[in-house]
Structure 1
Amino acid sequence: MKLNERSVVHYATCGVPPDKSGFLMKKSERSGTFHRRWCVLKANLLFLFEERGRREPVGLVVLE
């Protein structure tokens, strides 16, 4: 599956309601500290945002 950044951002923020959403704690690889991220699950795509209400995701995990 090929994804481009523009279509991913559109899908993350479009009006389709998410399957689940909420905060998760993500551990930093560098410092080992935890950061709170707002996560949105749509189909098999888990989008990570710095804060709730942000327009562009900072990360994406494809769940298979």
Structure 2
Amino acid sequence: MSELGDKIKGTTDKVVGSVKEGVGKATNDAELEAEGKAQQVKGKVENVKGTVKGKINDL
């Protein structure tokens, strides 16, 4: 996946994860809340991956 694609996927994962976490908290669903937190971390990793690809391409 390209730098931009990774960053878009990362941002999407962070937003969806945040929504899942919020819904999990609101409904007292610990599993959904944890899933949301994990998806947010995944999104952060995707963003870093995209940034690294960009830096490598700049060399």
Q: Same fold (TM over 0.5)?
A: no
Query: Of the two structures, which has the highest relative contact order with CA contacts closer than 8 Å and spacing of 6 or more?
Result: 2
TM-score (norm 1): 0.28
Between Structure 1 and Structure 2, the one with more helix by share is: 2
| Structure with greater Cα Rg | 2
TM-score norm. by structure 2 comes to 0.30
Greater share of residues in strand: 1
